[in-house]
Amino acid sequence: MVANKTNPATEIDSVDPNELKAELVAKYPTKVGRKRAKQIVINRVDECGEVPEMGANARTIPGIITQRGCSYAGCKGVVLGPTRDIINLTHGPIGCGFYSWLTRRNQTRPDGPEDANFMTYCFSTDLQDEDIVFGGEKKLRQAIRELYENFKPKAIGIFSTCPVGLIGDDVHAVAREMKEELGINIFGFSCEGYKGVSQSAGHHIANNGLFNHVVGLDNTPKEGKFKINLLGEYNIGGDAFEIERILEEAGITLVTTFSGNSTYDKFANSHMADLNTVMCHRSINYVAEMMEKKYGIPWIKVNFIGAASTAKTLRKIANYFEDEELIERVEKTIAEEMVEVEKVRLEVKSRCEGKTAMLFVGGSRAHHYQDLFAEIGMKTVAAGYEFAHRDDYEGRTVLPNIKVDADSRNIEELHVEPDPERYSPRKSEEALERLKAKGFRFKDYDGMMPEMESGTLIVDDISQYESEKLIEKYKPDIFCAGIKEKYAIQKKGVPMKQLHSYDSGGPYAGFKGAINFWREIDRMVNSKVWSYLKAPWQESPELTATYAWE
Amino acid sequence: MATMDYVSTTNACKLCKPLGACLAFRGIEGAVPMLHGSQGCATYMRRYIISHFREPMDIASSSLGEKHAVFGGGPNLKQGLKNLITKFGAGMIGVASTCLTETIGDDVPMIIREFRKEMEAEGGPGLPALVSVSTPSYSGTHMEGFHSAVRAVVDQLCTPDSVGEELAGKFVNLLPGFLSPADLRHLKEIVEDFGLGWVMLPDISETLDGPALEDYEKIPAGGTPISAIKGMGQGAATLEFGHTLEGGPTAGRILFERFGVPLHQSGVPIGLRETDAFFQALEKFSGRATPKKHELERGRLVDSYVDGHKYLFGKRAVVYGEEDLVIGLTAFLAEIGVKPVLCASGGRSGKMSSCIERVTAGLLETVPRVEEGADFQKIEDLCEGLAPDLLVGHSKGYRLSKKLGAPLVRVGFPIHDRFGGQRVLHAGYRGAQMLFDSLVNAILEKTQEESPIGYGYM
């Protein structure tokens, strides 16, 4: 399959999603097929916005090449990885630490040469045979002492890998003991790779740990009139820098991001914010929920991916604070930024309109990035998450109906009470009602499916084989996923954009990010490279034959 | 110099064992590597291998959860194998264990035997070759995983009753170890130029550096054919690279003990002298003189050694990475007049010092400091007072290179901050030539950059 495709619109219309689903499922053994059938769903949005049930957050079938990671990856790699001044110590054999060593392309910006930055480091206890037999706690203690001696960090996080839980090392006890001994904050995460069904379990474990051990430690009031936290933003390719720029422009104070370009002190002070804004609902909603219960900080869902979405998000934040001056400043910022954005958008749209995209990535990106494509007239024909739950697909209204299975039950659900001294509702009941009456929605996420067209195909935890089939049938102009899929997709003649680590690009968030992204997509979907695939003599053999005969 | 001996590892200079096994399995025709453990291992190793080679790399997983960690992973492994066979049409599945399954004590060979029996009872189609290797990552490095997998493949597939492909003419078994696809292509070319046939195990030259395609192949073309592996017992000789492997229980040793195939163990042919030894062996096994083409290549290499000596003479280098690669690179550096001041590896064969002494014999006034089991913290500590002019190794040395202001010449694996890591040529006269040019140019570039004037004629 090569580029130079016919009109994509007719191609998609020619794909019968029901037929395709039947074909996909039929290839599996019966039991496996039945399971996959729940995770391959044809979208149908009814007039009330209801969508079909999605089988999500279920265990991966062995032997299918899945793109999913593990609990350790979600905890250490995703949530804690982007914080620069906490020492992340992997307790286990060397591999896990090595593979999560800066590979997500999180960026950071220390305040100066004195500001600690451990992001380019990889710390491990590098467990050996004898540690597996006799236990690794002694080695862990010694490693913590050494790291303290060498780096004098403010905090150390310990991350357990598979063998740790199996040999019975108590990382939490060691953390308590060493905290006492060294006088710095030390905390452990039981994020062994076999816990939960994907990295999603690790996100939850990380959220719990941060909330228990770091959030709320520093009550210093933060300067600023409109103070927010940004949750579920990891500064891949510099996304956080762009968002920080926009917020500053608009006069909004960012207390901390969880966890792009973040520091330990900012986390400790984060409960002093007056609003939590949530980007990646999947990985961080737990902290938002817990902070609301304990400190009275409301949370709202936002999205800085896409120029229109960024504008919408800024307006939403301004409306929350109900401040005329802020609303005005936000409008001014949007108006200024949109000049360049619109110019590029229209130019790129002229070349990309009508083309199609597929997104199979993350727990929010497969949803958020559809906005960016829509703005340049590209349609998302199929999408799915790697590790999301039903609420990320169908919206939070399904939360009460989600069955809790054994895998999820194994991840601790913290019981949170309002803090006796520090609980303070940021909005009065009256103010909340007033906002709600104006259509303002708190702690709400509609999910991906209600915003996608009926007839599009939604596939959870897509396997290599399924993506190949989808590409064959839909012939999309671009496929978005991660580095694991990248080169296989490209060998099928389809451009592939990494939305985990952005290839070597970014930022793609905010206004400037949108421009970057569109330029990149324009370059990719209109590339001539696929036309070089055949040598001239392969292209028209009759011509070569003629020459030979002559 | 006094440096701390740390218990913790900071910025490791090694990867884990199962990754090496997956790389080796990938070099066999039709093979799919599979990890018995948590699915995160497969995902992490895939993404890491892919970032270096920029090629697809599938690794299946038995995807164990908490329940399986308690009750054993057998049923998952069997289900995974079955899905892989039906879905992927794998010609071989190489199963490597992980820390999880080694810690809980899953007996993989037994589970596979049971699986065979169950499948035979079901009366399904014949099974592909199934090979298993034990690779707990809490001992050794990716290189031990790589060599163990190669040994397991030979041990389990090349048995006295296995019927291999009848290879016409005289052929040698090549066990190159973990080299780049470009290296492997070059080695095959050399052997062919001597009129010899070859079985190279493993052969990632196409499977991890393939062409752009119109239609993606789930399992890439290339790799050592299984029938060729089965016939390795008929080889005229086995050439096995890696000084640290000498005398050890390797794949080559099995072929010698089981079939009497003469085993010729040597260093990785990096640099002039180590490549000379390789060519001498080929002359011996083929009964032919070194072809003119390679004599010329050697001649040009020596010529460039003369031309470039003024730039490199006396420069101090730190070399790090896999043990046998470091040994080969050190041999090369010593012969071009560069002073290796530190040779470090995350591996611990216990043999690096003696090997380095041997390959640099007669070239160095002082034997360089050799550090096994090193991480980059240790390397950094040791660099104090060594004043290196350049670093030779993989991408993970970048931080140190930046700190020291010494250029890094990227070789080996992983290379993820430069383009074309899979095409870096290290082996043979041609590989030495490319390394030599890169080193000279790194020094020239630094000189140029540091000059405030901007001389364009060096």
Domain membership of residue B102 (yes or no) is yes
CB-CB neighbours of B104 under 10 Å? 19
B122 alpha carbon, distance to own chain's centre: 40
- Tokens for B345, please give them: 């590896």
Tell me how many helices (H) and strands (E) chain B has. Answer: 17, 14
Are residues B350 and B406 part of one domain?
yes
Pairwise CB contact (< 8 Å): A488 & B77: no
pLDDT in tens, A507-527: 999 999 999 999 999 999 999
Which of A178, A196, A214 is the last residue in one of the domains? A196
Alpha-carbon distances of A289 from A300, B30, B381, rounded to whole Å: 10, 49, 46
B366 burial class (0-12, 13-18, 19+ CB within 10 angstroms)?
A: exposed
Total tally of structural domains belonging to chain A: 2
Are residues B71 and B175 part of one domain?
no
List the single residue in B6, B40, B86 with the smallest CB-CB distance to A69: B40
ipTM: 0.96
Which of A422, A437, A452 is the last residue in one of the domains? A437
Averaged pLDDT for residues B341-351: 98
pLDDT in the model for residue B161: 87
Show the domain range for A422. Answer: 227-352+395-437
Confirm if A363 and A69 have CB atoms less than 8 A apart: no
pLDDT in the model for residue A437: 96
Are residues B248 and B197 part of one domain?
yes
pLDDT for residue B79 is more than 80: yes
pLDDT in the model for residue B168: 64
Pairwise CB contact (< 8 Å): A59 & B63: yes
Confidence category of residue B148, pLDDT binned at 50, 70, 90: very high
What DSSP line would sit under B118-166, residue for residue?
HHHHHT-SPPPEEEEE---TTSS-HHHHHHHHHHHHHHHHS-TT-----
Averaged pLDDT for residues A322-350: 98
List the single residue in A32, A64, A120 with the smallest CB-CB distance to B399: A120
**Reduced to 3 states, what is the DSSP secondary structure of residue B325?**
helix
List the single residue in B60, B66, B215 with the smallest CB-CB distance to A194: B66
Averaged pLDDT for residues A94-116: 95
Mean pLDDT of chain A: 94
Question: Cβ neighbours of residue B151 under 8 Å, at least 6 residues apart?
Answer: B133, B249, B250, B251, B254
Q: Residue A518 — φ and ψ, nearest 5°?
A: -60, -45
CB-CB neighbours of A236 under 10 Å? 24
Averaged pLDDT for residues B181-203: 98
CB-CB neighbours of A537 under 10 Å? 12
- Tokens for A134, please give them: 């006799």
Greater confidence (A270 vs B87) lies with A270
Task: Specify the residue for token string 């199609």.
Answer: A356
Separation between Cα atoms, residue B404 and residue B443, nearest integer Å:
14
Pairwise CB contact (< 8 Å): B214 & A121: no
Give the gyration radius of chain B's Cα atoms. Answer: 23
Domain membership of residue A317 (yes or no) is yes
Confirm if A277 and A229 have CB atoms less than 8 A apart: yes
Chain B residue numbers with beta carbons less than 8 Å from the beta carbon of A66 are 39, 42-43, 61, 63
Domain membership of residue A293 (yes or no) is yes
Q: Look up residue B12 and give its DSSP letter.
A: B
Averaged pLDDT for residues B400-426: 97
Are residues B130 and B78 part of one domain?
yes
Residues written for chain A: 550
Q: Look up residue A78 and give its DSSP letter.
A: I
For B312, what's the count of Cα atoms within 13 Å in the CB-facing half-sphere? 25
Report the 3 state secondary structure along A473-501: HHCCCEEEECHHHHHHHHCCCCCEEECCC
Mean pLDDT of chain B: 95
Task: Specify the residue for token string 């070194």.
Answer: B290
pLDDT for residue B400 is more than 80: yes
Q: Residue A439 — φ and ψ, nearest 5°?
A: 90, 10
Total tally of structural domains belonging to chain B: 3
End-to-end CA distance of chain B: 37
Q: Which of A354-358, B65-69, B250-254, B427-431 has the lowest mean pLDDT?
A: B65-69
List the single residue in B11, B45, B76 with the smallest CB-CB distance to A121: B11
Are residues B443 and B350 part of one domain?
yes
Question: Cβ neighbours of residue A381 under 8 Å, at least 6 residues apart?
Answer: A12, A356, A357, A358, A456, A457, A474, A476
Confirm if B84 and B34 have CB atoms less than 8 A apart: yes
pLDDT in the model for residue A4: 39
For A495, what's the count of Cα atoms within 13 Å in the CB-facing half-sphere? 22
Are residues B444 and B363 part of one domain?
yes
Are residues A297 and A433 part of one domain?
yes
pLDDT in tens, A375-420: 999 999 999 999 999 999 999 999 999 998 888 888 999 999 999 9
Are residues A256 and A150 part of one domain?
no
Question: Cβ neighbours of residue A341 under 8 Å, at least 6 residues apart?
Answer: A307, A511, A514, A515
Greater confidence (A317 vs A31) lies with A317
Pairwise CB contact (< 8 Å): B43 & A491: no
Chain B residue numbers with beta carbons less than 8 Å from the beta carbon of A198 are 39
Full-model pTM: 0.95
Separation between Cα atoms, residue A204 and residue B196, nearest integer Å:
59
pLDDT in the model for residue A546: 53
Show the domain range for B445. Answer: 308-450
Are residues B115 and B27 part of one domain?
yes
Averaged pLDDT for residues A319-336: 98
pLDDT in the model for residue A543: 56
- Tokens for B156, please give them: 């389990």
Confidence category of residue B126, pLDDT binned at 50, 70, 90: confident
Interface test with A, best of B3, B6, B7 (most A CBs within 10 A): B7
Give the gyration radius of chain A's Cα atoms. Answer: 25
Confirm if B443 and B407 have CB atoms less than 8 A apart: yes
**Reduced to 3 states, what is the DSSP secondary structure of residue B387?**
coil
B366 vs A: CB within 8 A: no
Confirm if A277 and A264 have CB atoms less than 8 A apart: no
Averaged pLDDT for residues B188-198: 97
A416 alpha carbon, distance to own chain's centre: 25
Domain membership of residue A185 (yes or no) is yes
Are residues B118 and B47 part of one domain?
yes
Q: State which amino acid sits at residue A106.
A: N
CA nearest to B86 within chain A: A28
Separation between Cα atoms, residue A48 and residue A412, nearest integer Å:
35
pLDDT in the model for residue A2: 41
Domain membership of residue A28 (yes or no) is no
pLDDT in the model for residue A537: 85
pLDDT in tens, A187-223: 999 999 999 999 999 999 999 999 999 999 999 999 9
Indicate the pairing of strand A40-42 with strand A457-459.
Answer: antiparallel
Q: Which of A287-301, A487-501, B308-322 has the lowest mean pLDDT?
A: A487-501
Confidence category of residue A14, pLDDT binned at 50, 70, 90: confident
Alpha-carbon distances of A486 from A84, A273, A464, A490, B223, rounded to whole Å: 29, 39, 11, 6, 22
Are residues A249 and A173 part of one domain?
no
Separation between Cα atoms, residue A1 and residue B118, nearest integer Å:
40
Domain membership of residue B415 (yes or no) is yes
Are residues A116 and A176 part of one domain?
yes
Stretch (H or E) spanning A134? helix A129-134
pLDDT for residue B1 is more than 50: no
A4 vs B: CB within 8 A: no
Pairwise CB contact (< 8 Å): B9 & A126: yes
Are residues A313 and A427 part of one domain?
yes
Are residues A324 and A254 part of one domain?
yes
Are residues B187 and B145 part of one domain?
no
Are residues A277 and A152 part of one domain?
no
Domain membership of residue B347 (yes or no) is yes
CA B383, A128, B41, A368 torsion-angle sign: negative
- Tokens for B96, please give them: 């490597």
pLDDT in the model for residue A319: 97
Q: Look up residue A509 and give its DSSP letter.
A: B
Chain B residue numbers with beta carbons less than 8 Å from the beta carbon of A406 are 67
* CATH number of residue B81's parent domain: 3.40.50.1980
Domain membership of residue A153 (yes or no) is yes
* CATH number of residue A234's parent domain: 3.40.50.1980
